[in-house]
Amino acid sequence: MLTLADARRVIAAAEQKAEEIGQPMNVAVVDSGGNLVAHVRMDKAWIGSIDISINKAFTARAFDLSTKDLAAESQSGGQFFGIHVSNGGRVMIFAGGIPLKRDGEVVGAIGVSGGTGEQDQTVAEAGAAAF
Amino acid sequence: MLTLADARRVIAAAEQKAEEIGQPMNVAVVDSGGNLVAHVRMDKAWIGSIDISINKAFTARAFDLSTKDLAAESQSGGQFFGIHVSNGGRVMIFAGGIPLKRDGEVVGAIGVSGGTGEQDQTVAEAGAAAF
Amino acid sequence: MLTLADARRVIAAAEQKAEEIGQPMNVAVVDSGGNLVAHVRMDKAWIGSIDISINKAFTARAFDLSTKDLAAESQSGGQFFGIHVSNGGRVMIFAGGIPLKRDGEVVGAIGVSGGTGEQDQTVAEAGAAAF
Amino acid sequence: MLTLADARRVIAAAEQKAEEIGQPMNVAVVDSGGNLVAHVRMDKAWIGSIDISINKAFTARAFDLSTKDLAAESQSGGQFFGIHVSNGGRVMIFAGGIPLKRDGEVVGAIGVSGGTGEQDQTVAEAGAAAF
């Protein structure tokens, strides 16, 4: 089980990293069913990233891998090209979504959106590390 | 401006009320653009209420009135009957969404879902009062 | 955890009841996250009921109650009227969806569609009883 | 006509192959109308692959060719590039969907999702061979 307290701890760590690098972010956490547990949009973070952060978290749980790794296989010519239109357009294929594991099992995921791919990834990693 | 700190204060008050009445809830806050600022799903709250809480908040800001009041005009035979399919199905016409005002102006909204209409309304009012 | 073996046992019992009453049905089972575990469409069952059976199961888990009970509160004038457009149109508010419980906790749901509301309910109950 | 019994035979063969290669899968079968006949998600298979398996089967029947072959023409620069956003996002352009033929005519399709493109294809072929 991933609790709301877990989600808040993950989000707090992500926010702290976002402040450190000076880039406001949207941060979302989903549970093992891919369903949203909590989301925050930091002041001045992009509104277009609300949906992206939630769906990066969904994607990382839906396929039990980071969206950064999924991206590598989902470009034109790759084995999963086209996956981004599946699941009603909820599959995000760029960095910022990371599965959250407990005892080796994926029990949820974090999704971050609001900066460059590298910034999103950095913030998501900071969040995941707090889980 | 409605900040993330504002949203968190509103959500905290709503959560406290939800705990008092013993009903786990989804609570969401949107800004003046109707865009999500923060969402939490309390442990054991319904997963079907994630979307509803977010969209009750959207609706309360979209029309600058409570979803409870909108409901009164949106039943079969009412002057707004059918409004619930507008905006891509995001308009919620039952209690639990309340505008948040500052200096007489609507700057956002809270949406609550997870119990009866009366429970949702009670929790939303507690959240709004903290704004 | 609700396993595929669980889902098949539930579906088999539902199919048997559907045959008894002579009405081909769509039967679906979802897990605790509301995600599909298995679906069958019996020969000559309605194609329009594929989506309905899957979404009745989703709904019963999303709100931890039968769609028959949800229906009672979701008619025009009821406290949840309008809920049927939430969650992207996945909320079904007529009989045939029933939560599946283990040790008092909802861990999934069955959804049945293909006949009258009464037939759907009867078949769903037979399926749920086998869980 | 493709019956539920046919679909189950196809799915059973696919499941057996999935177990052999040690990769849990989602397997779906559609009929000549492209409509779902049966779906199973094996324990621990990805939840993001539910939709993909169903839509690979849809796609294979919708165009009467394997999604692997369709992929070859649907990459950036190819003659069908962009087809993946048609049909409401239901067209899957990566391996794992195969038409099911009887007497030289396509009467349905199988869709498999849950592993690499090669694994999905291998499992789909095993399922199709049992038809």
D85 to A85: CB separation less than 8 angstroms, yes or no: yes
Q: Chains B and C: how many Cβ contacts under 8 Å?
A: 59
Rounded Cα distance, C97 and C57, in Å: 5
D117 to A82: CB separation less than 8 angstroms, yes or no: no
Reference B34, options B48, B53, B51, B55; nearest CA is: B55
| Predicted pLDDT at D52 | 98
Q: What is the pLDDT of residues A91-111, one digit of tens each?
A: 999 999 999 999 999 999 999
Q: How high is the ipTM of this complex?
A: 0.96
The interface residues of chain D toward chain A in range 9-38, judged by CB-CB distance below 8 A, are: none
Question: What is the residue-averaged pLDDT of chain C?
Answer: 98
Question: C41 - beta bridge partners?
Answer: C26
Q: Does D90 touch chain C if contact means CB atoms closer than 8 Å?
A: no
Rounded Cα distance, C60 and C109, in Å: 6
Rounded Cα distance, B71 and C77, in Å: 9
C36 to D42: CB separation less than 8 angstroms, yes or no: no
Residue in chain C closest to A34 (alpha carbons) equals C33
Rounded Cα distance, C126 and C120, in Å: 10
Q: Which of B49, B74, B94 sits opposite C79 (nearest CB)?
A: B94
Q: What is the pLDDT of residues B42-57, one digit of tens each?
A: 999 999 999 999 999 9
Q: What is the pLDDT of residues C57-80, one digit of tens each?
A: 999 999 999 999 999 999 999 999
Rounded Cα distance, B87 and B99, in Å: 18
Question: What is the residue-averaged pLDDT of chain A?
Answer: 98
| Residue numbers in chain B where pLDDT is lower than 70 | none
D71 to A86: CB separation less than 8 angstroms, yes or no: no
The answer to whether A94 and A75 have CB atoms below 8 angstroms apart is: no
E-state strands within chain A: 26-31, 36-41, 97-102, 105-113
What's the number of domains chain D is made of? 1
3-state secondary structure chain D: CCCHHHHHHHHHHHHHHHHHHCCCCEEEEEECCCCEEEEEECCCCCCCHHHHHHHHHHHHHHCCCCHHHHHHHHCCCCCCCCHHHCHHHCCCCCCCEEEEEECCEEEEEEEEECCCHHHHHHHHHHHHHCC
| Predicted pLDDT at A42 | 98
- Residue D90: pLDDT band with limits 50, 70, 90: very high
Rounded Cα distance, B68 and B120, in Å: 10
Rounded Cα distance, A106 and D47, in Å: 12
The answer to whether B64 and B100 have CB atoms below 8 angstroms apart is: no
Question: B27 - beta bridge partners?
Answer: B40, B112
Q: What is the residue type of D66? A: S
Average pLDDT over residues C98-110: 97
| Predicted pLDDT at D81 | 97
B94 to C88: CB separation less than 8 angstroms, yes or no: no
Structure tokens at C117: 């509301």
Other CB atoms closer than 10 Å to residue B72's CB: what's the count?
12
CATH of the domain at D10: 3.30.450.150
Reference A82, options D36, D83, D49, D30; nearest CA is: D83
Rounded Cα distance, B122 and B106, in Å: 20
A82 to D74: CB separation less than 8 angstroms, yes or no: yes
H-only helix segments in chain B: 4-21, 49-62, 67-74, 117-129
- The vertex-D66 CA angle with C27 and C44, nearest 5°, equals 30
Do chains B and D touch by CB distance (3+ pairs < 8 Å)? no
Q: What residues of C are in contact with residue A35 (Cβ under 8 Å)?
A: 33-34
| Predicted pLDDT at A78 | 97
Q: Does A48 touch chain D if contact means CB atoms closer than 8 Å?
A: no
| Predicted pLDDT at C13 | 98
| Residue from D75, D94, D122 whose CB has the most chain A CBs within 10 Å, to mutate | D94
Q: What is the pLDDT of residues D47-81, one digit of tens each?
A: 999 999 999 999 999 999 999 999 999 999 999 99
The answer to whether C14 and C6 have CB atoms below 8 angstroms apart is: no
Quote the domain boundaries for residue C64.
4-129
Rounded Cα distance, D71 and D67, in Å: 6
Rounded Cα distance, A47 and A24, in Å: 11
| Predicted pLDDT at D6 | 98
- Provide the terminal-to-terminal Cα distance of chain C, rounded to the nearest Å: 12
- Residue A84: pLDDT band with limits 50, 70, 90: very high
Do chains D and C touch by CB distance (3+ pairs < 8 Å)? yes
Reference D68, options D8, D1, D128, D7; nearest CA is: D128
Q: What is the pLDDT of residues D1-35, one digit of tens each?
A: 999 999 999 999 999 999 999 999 999 999 999 99
Q: What residues of B are in contact with residue A37 (Cβ under 8 Å)?
A: 40-41
